[in-house]
Amino acid sequence: MTTEDRLRDAFRADAETIQSGTIRPAPAAPEAARRGSELGADRPPGGLHLPAGLRRARGASRPRLPRPGRVRGLRPAGGDAGWARSRPAVAALAAATAVAAIAVAATVAGGSGGSRSGALSVLGAPTPPAPRYLVGTVQLGHARGLGIFNAQTGKRTGVVRPPARGMSFLTVAATAPGRFIAAAVHSSPHNCSSTRLYRLTLTSRGKLARLAPLPGGRVSGTLTSLGASAGGRVIAYAANHCNGRPGWLGVIRPVTGQSRQWPLRSEGLLDLTLTPDGRTVYFLNTQVLEGDGSIRAMSTSAPAGPMTRRARIVLPAGSASGSGGSIALAGHGRILLACQEIQDTAVLTAYRAATGGELAVLHTWPHVDVSPCTLTAAASGGYLLISDIGTHLWRMQLGSGGTRQLPIATDAVDQVAW
Amino acid sequence: MAADAVVQELYRAHALTLVRLAHMLVRDRESAEDIVQDAFVRLYRALPRLRDHDQVLPYLRTIVINGCRSALRGRQRAARRRVEHDPPGASAEAAVLLSEDRRAVFAALARLPRRSREVLVLRFYLDLSDTEIAAALGVSRGTVSSTASRAVTALGRELRELEEYP
């Protein structure tokens, strides 16, 4: 019996110890309520939150995150001396190879408080058009399907229902504009080991063109993260065993049918990303899953075996002294973007993917009483999708650092890709 | 419909589930019922200002969860001050009715951080979606997702430890 099954069983049994008819009757209306007076006493104890809908109904505006911008909000996280130290303007990122000259320029804004803004300039590589459509998991009745959204208008242009009854889509990754890999799993906990990967293709109008099983795309565990190389020649995923124990990092090459796995030991792998060529997988050994908080990289051709011996540390634990977080790659896999929670601030930072050297703090969102943002790089490059922060999804153009709120509420979609 | 009738109907529909929810978090029947009674008293006052009645149940859940937090904080304060109080263990009735395996689950659950316990109860007892859990706890869906993953893993570890070293 899995941990989840044991929980459900225990909760069900515990619930049955309290039977209908044995609890007290409803309380009488308090006098003040009968008079209709405004007591303002319905705040939960301890000054804790109320549901967003209720807050709006009461006219008390929900604390809003500051609108991200290129300069505003880019300030050190309060209380962390590490962020207060002076950093030189980031010089050109010397190309390890002579192929593309990728330079990163960090514009340090003057003024008190150390405000700074950062932008990544991919020299010689014009920014591609922003993705037209994004795909995210959405609730469809009792199952989770996929919603296709126009990234400009926010309109839902299509829906992909789960491929079979009892299944739900779990997560999705983009391989190219309009092309995705999606993972679907049986909703029943008894079928935990039946995760299947599917190829998804959109029409130019944002409708589903094709949904087909990915060759070799059967995963015997619970998927926690999914990544794809450009074109989808390499798929990487992290999976846990059905009982919740750490599972493995897996790589599938659909063209050749090859797959390889590396068992997880102490790693708490929640977020991974592949370089566009599919040669390297970067992952966050997140503290959320008892990891050490480091960011590591591993060749997807590494021999099978314990991952601790195969993966190199790009950012050691403590260097990005936050918890949780999300990572993405930009600049043809040469720039590593990490969003980390440091105290109550979400910080988006760019690093050299090869060495872990810090390039620029691209943005900060102070006073974020939620998990750090989730990053999704566009398959076409040049753009970053930022979710799980505030009420709407955000788009960042990496070349300019400019951000724009997308007309898609974070409530509307869960796992997203574009 | 008058406020009295609305609340009475809501009580009939949801009080039992909410008492069970509170019981799973505070492990004490009396406290659980107190918390739910208090939640409905608050609902009387809030009802005239609730434009969206779809928000009533999420509101009640939030008030109950916050009430459980207050109750548990009160117990911790009492413990620090060495004040006599009922232990936060399972009620005698529940202890009798629950099997050893189920008691082990609740013992392991009690070792988890507060938010982890709340996420697990909301997900595996009430079968709420991540969005609904996020609304009830006032956190993001990402936090719910990561907390749930961590909590299930940690709970499995605690259960193994309890089984190996009871």
The string of DSSP codes covering A302-360 is SPSS-HHHHPEEEE-TTTT--EEEEEEEETTTTEEEEEEEETTEEEEEEEETTT--EEE
Q: B32 vs A307, which has greater pLDDT?
A: B32
Q: How confident is residue A318, by pLDDT bands cut at 50, 70 and 90?
A: low
| Among A254, A255, A186, CA closest to A220 | A186
pLDDT of B134 reads 86
A37-63, pLDDT tens digit by residue? 333 333 333 333 333 333 333 333 332
Name all contacts of B4-12 with Cβ < 8 Å and 24+ positions apart: B4/A29, B6/B47, B7/A26, B7/A29, B7/B40, B7/B43, B7/B44, B7/B47, B8/A26, B10/B40, B10/B43, B10/B56, B10/B57, B10/B60, B11/A25, B11/A26, B11/B40, B12/A26
Distance from CA of B44 to the nearest CA of A (A): 6
Q: Do B20 and A14 touch (CB under 8 A)?
A: yes
Distance from CA of B3 to the nearest CA of A (A): 9
Mean pLDDT over the full length of chain B: 80
Against a cut of 0.90, is the pTM above it?
no
Nearest chain B residue to A39, by CA: B45
* pLDDT of residue A102 exceeding 50: no
Q: Do A240 and B146 touch (CB under 8 A)?
A: no
Q: Select from A4, A51, A410 the Cβ nearest to the Cβ of B62.
A: A51
Q: Do A17 and B49 touch (CB under 8 A)?
A: no
Distance from CA of A21 to the nearest CA of B (A): 9
Nearest chain B residue to A373, by CA: B142
pLDDT of A277 reads 93
CA A39 to chain centre: 41
Six token digits for residue B99:
């099997």
| Among A224, A230, A196, CA closest to A377 | A230
Work out the average pLDDT over A209-238: 89
DSSP annotation of B105 reads H
Q: Do A11 and B58 touch (CB under 8 A)?
A: no
Strand, helix or coil at B121?
A: helix
B96-141, pLDDT tens digit by residue? 556 788 888 988 898 888 888 999 999 999 999 888 898 888 788 8
Contacts of B156 in chain A (CB under 8 A): 3, 243-245
**Predicted ipTM of the assembly:** 0.87
CA separation for the pair B75, B20 (Å, rounded): 19
Work out the average pLDDT over A65-71: 31
Q: How confident is residue A280, by pLDDT bands cut at 50, 70 and 90?
A: very high
Answer whether A240 touches B (CB < 8 Å): yes
DSSP annotation of B27 reads -
Contacts of A240 in chain B (CB under 8 A): 149, 153
* pLDDT of residue A31 exceeding 70: no
Work out the average pLDDT over A268-284: 85
